[in-house]
């Protein structure tokens, strides 16, 4: 694959955030939704409260006018009542009617002054009034307002036609009622008893409707502003959510296709929300994928190179056996062929193990491992096999469960065993190999010291590369594949640990290999 994944450490300018960079996506979405709903609810509540207060004030005003008129009538002769009611009606735009004890209409202010208001027919009005009435009905339904009765002038104008007037005469107190005119404007009526009679004042309060609708227009403008704010907030959410996700999706697609030489995956380091976490995860994943692909390509090339040497030697030996007639020489060539077969078998086994180590650890289920008994078993195994020559192994076993880690016991044993094998290979005759394991803070430190020549400073990183092998003099050719330290490092890193090599600080010569692993929680 030819593409190269480059992880950027800075935000793209069009993806960067300022004050909202540390808000989670949940908080942003909730903020947008709650803000819009809150503004709508507050606007509706304000208009409902405003209309309710205005309605109560207009009803109170009509009642006061009717009560004041009734009190004034008590101070003038009955012969002057018609003139008084006419004058009050003209000044207040009310219609005043006086009903006698028998329920007959005695005085009607409109008889002398003419109508002071007109009930308008909705069919004669333009379409804007129909829209306004539709909005009135919608708002009433939204706030759950009580449905008012329709105002209809009685065909026979008597006291019995007005329930509020009948109730005022029965209780001796004033009564008020609000009804709807045909065009949904309120008609307020107030009935007041006076000396056995009942005074009824009615008013078509169109100013009330105009005031409420004016406030509604203001609120509609506010709602338009809210919609604009909602659009801006939606754009903000799109910028903070959709655009980064689109960029990440495109970058992931390019990484998958592998057609671009350079794939730029934004990391968004200034964002601590879910998008930022996702960006960094995708960037790290692409880096890891690129690293794995590079390793596979390098590993395949190294395997090809390493297999060619024993295969060439084996082919040469086989070809020689056919051509050589000398029995002794044929026996030597046959021994070379057998050696090459053994070498190939060891090499293939090590290659197989190195290839599956990463994948095996990636899906492994770790368990608690006490490294003290594990290393002790490895040392005993070397003693039993007697493959260490005359090198001596010394292990300072820690107390039980102090050097415990989480991992796979067999993999950890292989890593430590490879380091012991490497130390034995470089130990001088009678050399001592010291092994120790201890817990330091939240880490477990494994140390393997030998008395060999040590590792040159410039080679300390290379020795962990695959097929990199610097063998001591006299070591059997082909005994090592050059994968032991590479496998050890892969196992240690698969356990989130570190491995390095340095010179010993307590001896004239020798190498010190150190493994550092996260310690398991204390039981």
Q: Which residues of 443-468 are buried (b: 16+ CB within 10 A; e: fewer)?
A: ebbbbbbbbbebbeeeeeeebbebbe
| Per-residue pLDDT tens digits for 299-326 | 666 667 667 767 777 777 787 777 777 7
> What is d(CA 192, CA 172) in angstroms, rounded to the nearest whole number?
8
**Could you tell me which residues are beta bridge partners of residue 107?**
98
How much is the pLDDT for 162? 93
Q: Please give the torsion angle defined by the CA atoms of residues 263, 269, 275 and 280, in that order, rounded to the nearest 10 degrees.
A: 50
> What is d(CA 416, CA 497) in angstroms, rounded to the nearest whole number?
13
For residue 484, the 8-state DSSP code is H
Question: Is 419 exposed, middle or buried, given 0-12, 13-18 or 19+ CB atoms closer than 10 A?
Answer: buried
List phi, psi (to 5°) of 205: -85, 80
Tokens (6 digits) for 252: 């992931």
> What is d(CA 94, CA 202) in angstroms, rounded to the nearest whole number?
6
How much is the pLDDT for 306? 63
C-alpha atoms less than 13 angstroms from C-alpha of 446 in its C-beta half-sphere: 27
Q: Pick from 413, 412, 419: which is nearest to 393 by CA? A: 419
Mean pLDDT, the chain cut into blocks of 10 residues (523 residues total): 41 51 61 74 83 89 91 89 90 91 92 88 88 85 84 91 92 92 92 92 89 85 81 74 78 71 70 77 78 70 67 78 77 80 74 67 80 89 67 86 88 88 85 90 92 84 71 49 77 89 85 92 76
Q: Pick from 41, 25, 27: which is nearest to 226 by CA? A: 41
At a CB cut-off of 8 Å and minimum separation 6, what does 392 contact? 430, 431, 432, 433
Distances (CA, A) of 122 to 14, 126, 486: 56, 8, 92
How much is the pLDDT for 435? 92
Query: Can you spell out the DSSP letters for 307-370?
Result: HHHHHHHHHHHHHHHHH---HHHHHHHHHHHHHHHHHHHHHHHHHHHHHHHHHHHHT---EEEE
Q: What is the 3-state secondary structure (H, E, C) of 90-140?
A: HHHCCEEEEECCCCCEEEEHHHHHCCCCCCCCHHHCCHHHHHHHHHHHHHH
Query: Can you spell out the DSSP letters for 20-58?
Result: TTT--HHHHHHHHHHHHHHHHHHHHHHHHHHHHHHHHHH
Q: What angle do CA 275, 280, 281 make, to 5 degrees?
A: 95
| Per-residue pLDDT tens digits for 22-41 | 555 566 666 767 777 787 78
Contact 334, 313 (CB under 8 A): no
Q: Pick from 302, 299, 292, 301: which is nearest to 255 by CA? A: 292
Place of tokens 């006018």: 65
> What is d(CA 1, CA 290) in angstroms, rounded to the nearest whole number?
9
> What is d(CA 273, CA 19) in angstroms, rounded to the nearest whole number?
12
How much is the pLDDT for 218? 84
H or E stretch including 438? strand 432-440
Strands 432-440 and 392-396: parallel
Find the farthest-apart pair of alpha carbons in the chain and give their distance in angstroms, rounded: 162
Residue 80 C-alpha from the chain's centroid: 81
Domains and CATH numbers, the chain: 27-217 (3.30.450.20), 364-523 (3.30.565.10)
Q: Pick from 205, 212, 170, 215: which is nearest to 191 by CA? A: 170
Q: Pick from 429, 475, 419: which is nearest to 452 by CA? A: 429
């Amino acid at each position: 694959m030819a593409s190269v994944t480059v992880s950027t450490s800075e935000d793209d300018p069009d993806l960067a955030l300022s004050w909202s960079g540390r808000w989670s996506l949940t908080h942003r979405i909730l903020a947008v939704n709650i803000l819009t709903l809150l503004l709508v609810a507050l606007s509706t509540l304000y208009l409902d409260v405003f209309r309710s207060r205005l309605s109560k004030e207009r009803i109170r005003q009509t009642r006061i006018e009717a009560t004041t008129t009734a009190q004034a009538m008590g101070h003038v002769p009955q012969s002057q009542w018609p003139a008084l009611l006419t004058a009050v009606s003209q000044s207040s735009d009310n219609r005043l009617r006086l009903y006698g004890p028998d329920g007959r209409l005695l005085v009607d202010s409109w008889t002398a002054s003419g109508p002071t208001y007109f009930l308008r027919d909705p069919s004669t009005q333009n379409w804007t009034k129909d829209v306004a009435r539709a909005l009135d009905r919608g708002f009433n339904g939204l706030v759950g307002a009580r449905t008012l009765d329709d105002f209809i002038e009685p065909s026979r104008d008597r006291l019995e036609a007005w329930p509020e007037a009948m109730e005022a005469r029965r209780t001796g107190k004033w009564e008020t009622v609000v009804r709807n005119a045909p065009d949904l404007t309120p008609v307020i009526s107030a009935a007041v008893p006076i000396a056995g009679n009942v005074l009824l004042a009615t008013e078509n309060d169109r100013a009330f409707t105009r005031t409420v609708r004016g406030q509604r227009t203001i609120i509609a403008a506010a709602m338009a502003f809210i919609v604009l704010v909602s659009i801006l907030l939606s754009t903000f959410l799109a910028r903070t959510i959709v655009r980064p996700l689109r960029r990440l999706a495109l970058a992931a697609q390019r990484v998958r296709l592998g057609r671009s030489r350079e794939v730029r995956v934004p990391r968004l380091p200034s964002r601590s929300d879910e998008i930022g976490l996702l960006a960094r995860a995708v960037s790290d994943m692409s880096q890891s994928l690129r690293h794995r692909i590079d390793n596979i390509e390098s590993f395949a090339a190294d395997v090809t190179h390493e297999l060619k040497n024993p295969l060439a030697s084996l082919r040469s030996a086989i070809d020689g056996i056919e051509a050589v007639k000398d029995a002794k020489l044929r026996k030597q060539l046959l021994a070379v062929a057998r050696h090459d077969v053994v070498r190939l078998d060891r090499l293939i086994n090590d290659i197989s193990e190195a290839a599956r180590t990463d994948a095996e650890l990636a899906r492994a289920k770790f368990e608690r491992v006490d490294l003290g008994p594990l290393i002790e078993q490895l040392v005993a195994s070397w003693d039993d096999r007697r493959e260490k020559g005359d090198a001596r192994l010394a292990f300072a076993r820690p107390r039980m469960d102090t050097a415990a880690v989480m991992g796979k016991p067999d993999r950890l044993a292989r890593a430590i065993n490879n380091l012991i094998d490497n130390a034995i290979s470089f130990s001088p005759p009678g050399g001592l190999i010291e092994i120790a394991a201890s817990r330091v803070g939240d880490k477990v430190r494994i140390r393997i010291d030998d008395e060999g020549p040590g590792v040159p400073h410039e080679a300390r990183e290379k020795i962990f590369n695959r097929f990199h092998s610097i063998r001591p003099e006299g070591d059997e050719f082909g005994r090592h594949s050059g994968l032991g330290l590479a496998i050890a490092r892969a196992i240690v890193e698969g356990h989130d640990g570190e491995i390095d090599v340095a010179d010993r600080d307590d001896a004239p010569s020798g190498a010190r290999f150190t493994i550092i692993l996260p310690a398991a929680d204390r039981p």
